[in-house]
A and B are shown apart, each in its own frame.
Chain A
Amino acid sequence: MGSRASTLLRDEEIEEIKKETGFSHSQITRLYSRFTSLDKGENGTLREDQVNFRGFMRTLAHFRPIEDNEKSKDQNGPEPLNSRSNKLHFAFRLYDLDKDDKISRDELLQVLRMMVGVNISDEQLGSIADRTIQEADQDGDSAISFTEFVKVLEKVDVEQKMSIRFLH
């Protein structure tokens, strides 16, 4: 347990994570054991991207289901990580690879290529990407901004789709 001692979770850390993400004590400890089992190099981070446990929890916090008592809380503090807007923002950032707050045609093409499979030609994929942008684009810049993205998904129940029930 020698090299692991520095990465053991301290109580103050648990409290901080709890405040930031909204997970319960037992959920955090359970996810920590999951994190350590994924962390094969035992250096406190996952993969070369150096995702530490805090980053791991912050990402997973986006997928916490929205509870009823949170909906009625007033807007004094910062918006919780699992609000609808933050969930959509997370998804948006996955599309937006160059982080310019717009989904351009090329970024959309890359995502489409990965999802649709190998037996569709580039031409057709390009047409689909064009159509998607034209459906969503309202300010005519041939790219999808965050507000346009939100508008496209306004009828989809994102709160329920982007939620996992983490076991207590």
Chain B
Amino acid sequence: HLKIPTGIKFWIMMSSLYPSPAFHLYNKLPSVVPESCLLIFVGLIMGGIIYGLNDKSPPVMDSDIFFLYLLPPIVLDAGYFMPSRPFFENIGTILLYAVVGTIWNVFGIGFSLYGICQVKSFHLQDISLLHNLLFGSLIAAVDPVAVLSVFEEIHVNEKLHILVFGESLLNDAVSVVLYKLFRSFCEMSTIKTVDVFAGIGKFFVVGIGGVLVGLLFGMIAAFTTRFTKNIRVIEPLFVFLYSYLSYLTAEMFHLSGIVAIIACAMGMKRYVEANISLKSHTTIKYFLKMWSSVSDTLIFIFLGVSTIGDNHEWSWSYICFTIIFCLIWRALGVLVLTFFVNRLHVNTVTSKDQFIIAYGGLRGAICFSLVFLLPEFPRKKLFIAATTVVILFTVFVQGMTIRPLVDLLDVKRKRESAPTVGEQIHIRFLDHLLAGIEDISGHWGQYYWKDKLEYFNSKYLQKFLLREYDQPKSSIVLLYEKLERKHAIELVEAGQLIHEPSHTSLLQALVKESDSMNPDVLENIQKILSRNLYRIRRTQVPAYNRHNLPGESGTAEQAKEILILRHRSLRVHMNRS
């Protein structure tokens, strides 16, 4: 008794899982065509097949399904694995681009399209200013799904990546407010100035409210995991549950759900990772990656399928000018804002970076769903057509050409080097040093606030949210343990450790001399050895890649050498004691 539309939907969903692995078998293809393009293409083919078979429009992507089920996993995955250090270092720039940049784009595109509509020969005069602004508000926002899928294949430097990506996530607050605002204006007969001001005030409520809701649920989740020692199996469930709840709660109160999920994930990550077991941590990692992969694939396929159909109205002028204005206003916005940013910050954004930021402003499925949610009015089909064309243009043209452009412009790439403990120590040391210098010179910069936050954290938050006897280890120690373990495994695989006495035999040798030794010291040494070998989880490598988890890169000669030296010195210490 499965109805045909539901059946078709299921069929589409199942078959969408095939292209993804097949795509990765051919190594050459991802370097030319980003995965999102291929998925849309497959969707187009399937839509064409369905249209040909049924002779009616294929099932259009339901906006509810998109916003409730497909979008949250991707955003949660992004927020949970967001590298917090570069994010907070650049937070001012990101917020400036997300908030001011989006407003600039919305009004720019809206007004210029209205100007185009006034030209008599285009036959577009019935589109009012308000409708144009409404259209502008949904088409201006950069889409995190599209940006993520294109940028993860071109490894640009960390700062550039976090700027584009952070902006695409945070501009949701602004575009949600503007969209709802203009939509309610459309339904009101007269608009008073007080309504405009209410709209501006609403923006603050939506953004900050979203953050607060997210942080609240994040703290609840962290607090819950404090007591889960005896029910390890459902620990991952709490993480997913509370994040999804924060999204739903925010959406219920008309706040920004995306911002809420990001705040929830980033807030709880630190405490949850210290509280939960290693296996739960792995489960969370893999599940998040899996869900976001599936959602991502489905979104693009549905996008392709929904393109074929009868709900389009074509107008060459409107559509072409939409594309042109999107590009122009984004470029202008980035230029002007970067000018201000470079005046205020030490961390300058180079002109090459600016070009990539402007060019990487991809639109995606969020615009698509929003346009379907519009109330019925005569020109709705034109808007749908324009949105579809813009999305296809940005994903195909910009998505495919951005990689050769990055190579051509020689944009600074991601640093592909192994992390070292020494570097980590020095970076931490510089943090403390800069906090002190800022304090002395009376300058309240980022290090000052970071220091204050750390103080607040260690004094109040940690006591409340972390399990009593498990103080979190500093990142220096964790990185050290991780590297030791990795190199030990590499050495064992290379067969070189056979000649060195193993830790257990060392321990036995130690135990034999234990008559003269303090039992406490012995216990300490045992604890250190076991901890060194088995309990490593934190990673310092940012993990935005959809298909690979961090920490899976190759070996090095120097690593072997370091570990052999370490073993020798460890043995010397053992013998001495």
Contact = CB atoms under 8 A, between A and B. Distances in A.
Contacts of A156: 423, 426-427
Interface stretch (A7-15, A73-81, A160-168): A160-168
B346 A163 contact: yes
A165 B562 contact: no
B434 interface: yes
Contact of A60 (B421, B441, B480): B441
Contacts of A164: 346, 434, 437-438, 441, 443, 445
A34 interface: yes
A127 to B, nearest CB: 7
A127 B484 CA distance: 10
Contact of B474 (A60, A115, A162): A115
A117 interface: yes
B433 A166 contact: no
B438 to A, nearest CB: 6
Interface string B504-545: 000000000000000000001100100010000000000000
A94 B432 CA distance: 12
Contacts of A126: 573
Interface string A103-137: 00000000110011101110110111011101110
Given A121-B528, A130-B566, A135-B562, A152 B442 contact: no
B441 A34 contact: yes
A34 B442 contact: yes
Contact of A112 (B425, B437, B443): B425
A121 B423 CA distance: 21
Nearest to A149: B426
Interface in B386-432: 415, 417, 420-423, 425-430, 432
B441 A91 contact: no
B471 A130 contact: no
A50 B437 CA distance: 18
Interface residues of B, number: 44
B415 A165 contact: no
B477 A116 contact: yes
Interface string A135-168: 1100000000000000011011000111111110
Contact of A115 (B347, B422, B471, B476): B476
A113 B441 CA distance: 26
A165 B445 contact: yes
Nearest to A125: B477
A91 B417 CA distance: 23
A61 B474 CA distance: 31
B65 interface: no
B476 A152 contact: no
A145 B524 CA distance: 33
B441 A127 contact: no
Contact of B528 (A63, A95, A124): A124
Interface string A18-61: 00000000000001001000100000000000000000000010
Nearest to A112: B425
A127 B474 CA distance: 15
Contacts of B434: 63, 161-162, 164
Nearest to B527: A121
B459 interface: no
Contact of B344 (A116, A121, A165): A165
A45 B441 CA distance: 15
Nearest to B447: A164
Contacts of B570: 127
B428 A115 contact: yes
B51 to A, nearest CB: 53
Contacts of B442: 34
B241 interface: no
B524 A121 contact: yes
B440 interface: yes
B473 interface: yes
Contact of A155 (B345, B417, B480): B417
Max count, chain A CB within 10 A of own CB: residue among B347, B445, B525: B347
A65 to B, nearest CB: 5
Contact of B569 (A60, A63, A130, A160): A130
Interface of A: 31, 34, 38, 60, 63, 65, 91, 94-95, 111-112, 115-117, 119-121, 123-124, 126-128, 130-132, 134-136, 152-153, 155-156, 160-167
Interface of B: 344-347, 415, 417, 420-423, 425-430, 432-434, 437-438, 440-443, 445, 471, 473-474, 476-477, 480, 483-484, 524-525, 528, 532, 562, 565-566, 569-570, 573
Which 7 residue pairs are nearest across A and B when measured between Cβ atoms? A132-B422, A163-B346, A65-B346, A34-B442, A152-B422, A116-B474, A128-B480
